[in-house]
């Protein structure tokens, strides 16, 4: 089955390259480092690999996975200082976050496309002792050649929605083979584990460790930056709605809801943060076209009294921006994308509102709804009414925020359990 998959991938390769070039019209980084996607390293990467060292390979697809993995990577750097850390991503935004967070402390390259030659070449060149895959990225050739090399494979912070499980079940033979090559699947929740088992994961390979997203720690620097933002946004006198990580089709919904909110909260400030940098200019134009006074965060100017919208067009600031919010709306949930991490808002004690599409965060969203920290709308069109009601009820906002902060604290500990899994693998106890 893997051979058929590989043949199909080779057939599609010209279209994959064309798609990368097409996306590079708005985001030039997509056409950079294309050779790395075939496991041909540049001079700097080859030089970094020239010194012999045992290697831990961490694969994090994009921004969300990189941010989730960041505290774990810091622990790996601390606990295994004699090991080289190779951190791969597949998107330019993920790459930018890796460089901003870790600089030269890790070797960052793009993950190869899952072609047999590229995957084999990549594994031969980095020679990992351990492959740590964040969340659920199952690539047949990546797993095959890593397993064949003798390296341990851990699927970390793993989640598997019912929708994704149905998709993997359609290629049951290939999925079963991949799962049997993984040493440990460290799941976020028992329901995820049951789905992996139903697809062919050996029971001995399953551990339920919880979600490392609950282990978010807000440091003094982040708290100071959020305090400064609250001053800039004048939050003592005006409510602030932070809408995090919007996708195409959501900004129009948000702006319509904001117009409804301003009828009863005329001083309300909207902080709108698109998920992808290539959409910054488009969303800015949309806001202006609808008549809003907009300040771009990248301009470095605080909003004035007449400013209605701050466009979050910078990278790496979302967590701090959430710390300034009266209420947070999580993008990716108003259209059928699957949602994004709502725990970043909850950790600040900020009430959360989402749309109905949360299949990537089912367990976390159910928990936050159950404890009263989050409202999950049945219809995106209800967003404006919901926000208006919340902003008119400060006591409820405070209760929701406290419930979210408590839920995050109560469910921490997954990172320590995952680090034990890593230690067992690196010491050969697997």
Helices (H) and strands (E) in the chain, counts: 18, 14
Diameter of the chain measured on Cα atoms: 64
Rg, C-alpha atoms of the chain: 22
Q: Which two tokens stand for residue 143?
A: 């797993």
CA distance 318 to 313: 10
In this structure, the strands spanning 107-110 and 128-134 are: unpaired
Angstrom CA distances, 425 to 141, 183, 205, 297, stand at 21, 8, 12, 44
Phi/psi of residue 207, each to 5°?
Answer: -135, 140
Q: Which two tokens stand for residue 248?
A: 């195409």
Residue written as token pair 């809408």:
243
Q: Coil, strand, or helix at residue 116?
A: helix
Q: Coil, strand, or helix at residue 74?
A: helix
β-strand partners of 255: none
CA distance 4 to 314: 42
- Among residues 329, 380, 383, 381, which one has the least CA distance to residue 351? 329
- Among residues 353, 369, 365, which one has the least CA distance to residue 403? 369
Q: Please state at what angle helix 394-410 crosses helix 383-391, rounded to 10 degrees.
A: 100
Q: Which two tokens stand for residue 126?
A: 């980095």
CA distance 55 to 73: 13
Q: Coil, strand, or helix at residue 81?
A: coil
Are 178 and 140 contacting, i.e. CB atoms less than 8 angstroms apart? yes
Which is catalytic among the residues 65, 278, 344, 362? Answer: 65
Angstrom CA distances, 183 to 187, 228, 422, stand at 13, 46, 11
65 in catalytic set: yes
CA distance 153 to 258: 46
Q: Mapped to the 3 state alphabet, what secondary structure does 19-41 carry?
A: HHHHHCCCCHHHHCCHHHHHCCC
Catalytic residues: 65
């Amino acid at each position: 089955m893997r051979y058929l998959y590989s043949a199909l991938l080779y057939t599609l390769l010209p279209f994959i390259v064309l798609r990368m070039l097409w996306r590079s019209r708005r985001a030039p980084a997509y056409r950079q480092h294309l050779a790395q996607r075939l496991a041909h390293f540049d001079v700097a990467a080859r030089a970094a690999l020239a010194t012999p060292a045992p290697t831990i390979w961490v694969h994090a697809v994009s921004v969300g996975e990189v941010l989730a993995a960041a505290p774990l990577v810091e622990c790996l750097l601390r606990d295994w200082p004699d090991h080289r850390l190779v951190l791969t991503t597949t998107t330019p935004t993920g790459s930018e976050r890796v460089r901003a967070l870790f600089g030269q402390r890790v070797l960052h390259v793009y993950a190869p496309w899952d072609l047999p030659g590229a995957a084999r070449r990549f594994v031969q060149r980095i020679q990992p002792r351990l492959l740590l895959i964040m969340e659920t990225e199952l690539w047949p050739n990546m797993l095959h050649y890593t397993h064949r090399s003798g390296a341990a494979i851990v699927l970390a912070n793993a989640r598997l929605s019912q929708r994704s499980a149905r998709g993997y079940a359609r290629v049951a033979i290939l999925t079963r083979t991949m799962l049997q090559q993984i040493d440990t699947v460290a799941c976020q929740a028992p329901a995820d584990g049951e789905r992996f088992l139903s697809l062919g994961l050996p029971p001995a390979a399953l551990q339920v460790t919880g979600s490392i997203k609950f282990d978010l720690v807000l440091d003094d620097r982040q708290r100071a930056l959020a305090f400064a933002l609250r001053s800039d946004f004048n939050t003592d006198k005006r409510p602030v709605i932070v809408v995090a990580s919007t996708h195409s089709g959501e900004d129009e919904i948000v702006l319509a809801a904001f117009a409804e909110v301003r009828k009863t909260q005329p001083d309300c400030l909207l902080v709108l943060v698109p998920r992808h940098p290539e959409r910054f200019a488009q969303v800015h134009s949309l806001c202006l076209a609808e008549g809003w006074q907009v300040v771009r965060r990248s301009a470095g100017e605080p909003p004035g009294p007449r400013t209605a919208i701050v466009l979050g067009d910078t990278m790496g600031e979302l967590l701090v921006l959430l710390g300034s919010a009266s209420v947070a709306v999580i993008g990716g949930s108003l259209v059928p994308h699957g949602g994004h991490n709502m725990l970043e808002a909850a950790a600040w004690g900020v009430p959360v509102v989402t749309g109905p599409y949360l299949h990537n965060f089912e367990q976390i969203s159910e928990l936050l709804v159950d404890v009263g920290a989050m409202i999950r709308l049945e219809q995106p069109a209800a967003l404006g009414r919901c926000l208006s009601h919340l902003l008119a009820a400060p006591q409820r906002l405070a209760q929701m925020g406290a419930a979210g902060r408590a839920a995050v604290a109560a469910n921490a500990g997954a990172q320590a359990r995952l680090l034990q899994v890593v230690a067992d693998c690196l010491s050969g106890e697997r």
